[in-house]
Amino acid sequence: MHMPKIYMAPFVTNNGELMSLQVYNTLTNKKEEFIPLEKGKVRMYVCGPTVYDKCHIGHARCYVAFDLIRRYLEYKGYTVKYVENFTDVDDKIINKSRETGKDPLDIAERYIAEYFRDMDALNVKRADVYPRATEHITDMISFVEALVEKGAAYQSDGDVYFSVEKSKDYGKLSGIDKEQMKAGARIAVDKKKRDPLDFALWKKAKEGEPKWESPWGEGRPGWHIECSTMSQKHLGETLDIHGGGQDLIFPHHENEIAQSEAYTGKQFVRYWLHNGFVTIKEEKMSKSLGNIVPVEELLQTYSPETLRYFLVASHYRKPIDFTEGNIKEAYKASQRLLNTVDTIKAALREDMTGEDFSPQPYREKLEEAMDDDFNTPLALSALFELARETNRRIEERAISKESLKEVLKTFLDLGNVLGLFFHAEIEEVSEELLAILVDIRENARAQKLWDISDSIRDRLKEIGIVLEDSPQGTRWKFTKK
């Protein structure tokens, strides 16, 4: 698979010792040592989807990336409280309602269910909390009231706007210059605003839209206030990590900072992390180009393992290009790792009496790569090195059974960090039943009952289990698309 070449030299202290986890902070535009606000605990918020349509490969890239980051933090021993919201009231949902004639909340419910289906398939761990905007309207109104009282926001004909003028360091995340932005064509003229950069905290109700009572009349919250309110409600005034796609840096995350810090007077987020875009054959995904690919459609053609591998094989901050060729390469690569797991399991059922072999150096190489801003390309290279060495030793019967057990544990541990191998671990009872079937087949072969023998082999193949006869006995392995 053609991927950007990424090599990030490991961070070292003055005495040459490796440093702890380093993350690239968008706020400072550099890698920094990760030190959470509270020792051993991480407060992590990721902007969830606006639920008006199917999840596409770009969404999957984001949520797989932050799932990977969460998994590694937990691997390192942190207790992570992971919160991801659903924006279930928004202009896009309202427009979809007008197009389809369906209730906006019914639309949101449908696509929330589809989101869970797709992300579960890609082995994205469920968040600890999934707050919905519509469940926090009262909290949002209180937030906006406080900003008005502080003089950081103002009412204008039923709308309430945040006054960017009150935010002295507005633009510190995105690097924008306020004066240049005012002069730019991106800022629409609105007579209700005191300043072109001011943004809506509360929107006056329009006919046919969802609405709630407020001190400023009926209306609904603005997009930006939703995330500030829900993140603080569930994680407190200062977050350790706030994540999302690079497209959210401005205006969404910039506005979140402005209103949150005006509200609390404290730093809103310590580390801002943003994932790179997905392109389709080097073109940006867009509805106008008709190249948006839903995850649901991809899962009809490719296995979840293949898609997961494709998404983690590039560094999370780098762009990733979706092509048929890249997906095929991802399939081949993920299959090599899955085959290694199956080979190890098969070898453990044999009499292996070779020498001792420790997988610890490979674990350390993976950890070193992941400690360097979650460098998955280097992490995967460590896993492939372990696979090659393990396969060689099994083929030469030069590894002890105890070492094989340690290698398997290491493989599954490290695979779990990357979210791979999620169909590789089979329940013990399943393996025992499979062993019984293999014994029955071997007895049938011994009695030359070829119809029974071939039937068992063919039926197992239909459900993804391939039997391989060898002088040492029958091995089995699990195949995926």
Short-list 163, 453, 481, CA closest to 310:
481
Number of H helices, E strands in the chain: 15, 15
| Contact yes or no for 393/88 (Cβ under 8 A) | no
Short-list 12, 14, 99, CA closest to 53:
99
Rg over alpha carbons for the chain, rounded to the nearest Å, is 26
Residues of the chain with CATH 1.20.120.640: 1-35+323-425
Short-list 149, 67, 150, 52, CA closest to 102:
52
Q: What is the CATH number of domain 1-35+323-425?
A: 1.20.120.640
Report pLDDT for 244.
Answer: 98
Phi/psi class of residue 464: alpha, beta or left (left: φ > 0; alpha: ψ in -120 to 50)? Answer: left
Please give the backbone phi and psi of residue 283, each rounded to the nearest 5 degrees, phi first.
-115, 145
Residues of the chain with CATH 3.40.50.620: 37-155+164-182+222-275
Report pLDDT for 471.
Answer: 73
Report pLDDT for 183.
Answer: 62
Residue type at 66 in one-letter notation: F
Listing from the earlier edge strand, what are the strands of the sheet with 269-275? 79-84, 41-46, 239-245, 269-275
> For residues 32 and 23, what is the distance between their CA atoms, to the nearest angstrom?
5
Report pLDDT for 274.
Answer: 98
> For residues 261 and 164, what is the distance between their CA atoms, to the nearest angstrom?
12
Helix (H, G, I), strand (E, B) or coil at 204: strand
Size of the chain in residues: 481
Q: What is the pLDDT along the chain (481 residues), one digit of tens a residue?
A: 323 333 334 444 434 444 599 999 999 999 999 999 999 999 999 999 999 999 999 999 999 999 999 999 999 999 999 999 999 999 999 999 999 999 999 999 999 999 999 999 999 999 999 999 999 999 999 999 999 999 999 999 999 999 999 999 999 999 988 877 766 535 556 788 999 999 999 999 999 899 999 999 999 999 999 999 999 999 999 999 999 999 999 999 999 999 999 999 999 999 999 999 999 988 888 777 788 899 999 999 999 999 999 999 999 999 999 999 999 999 999 999 999 998 998 899 888 889 999 999 999 999 999 999 999 999 999 999 999 999 999 999 999 999 999 999 999 999 999 999 865 544 444 666 888 888 899 898 889 899 998 999 888 887 778 888 877 678 777 664 4
Report pLDDT for 189.
Answer: 61
Kindly give, in sequence order, each residue whose CB lies less than 8 Å from that of residue 447, ignoring residues fewer than 6 positions away: none
Q: What is the CATH number of domain 37-155+164-182+222-275?
A: 3.40.50.620
Report pLDDT for 188.
Answer: 57
Q: Which helix (H) or strand (E) holds 159?
A: strand 159-162
Report pLDDT for 11.
Answer: 42
Helix (H, G, I), strand (E, B) or coil at 28: coil
Report pLDDT for 472.
Answer: 67
Residue 322 token pair: 């979706």
Residue type at 427 in one-letter notation: E
Kindly give, in sequence order, each residue whose CB lies less than 8 Å from that of residue 215, ignoring residues fewer than 6 positions away: 141, 145
> For residues 153 and 200, what is the distance between their CA atoms, to the nearest angstrom?
9
Please report where in the chains the tokens 């019967």 appear, as a residue. Answer: 397
Report pLDDT for 3.
Answer: 31
Helix (H, G, I), strand (E, B) or coil at 217: coil
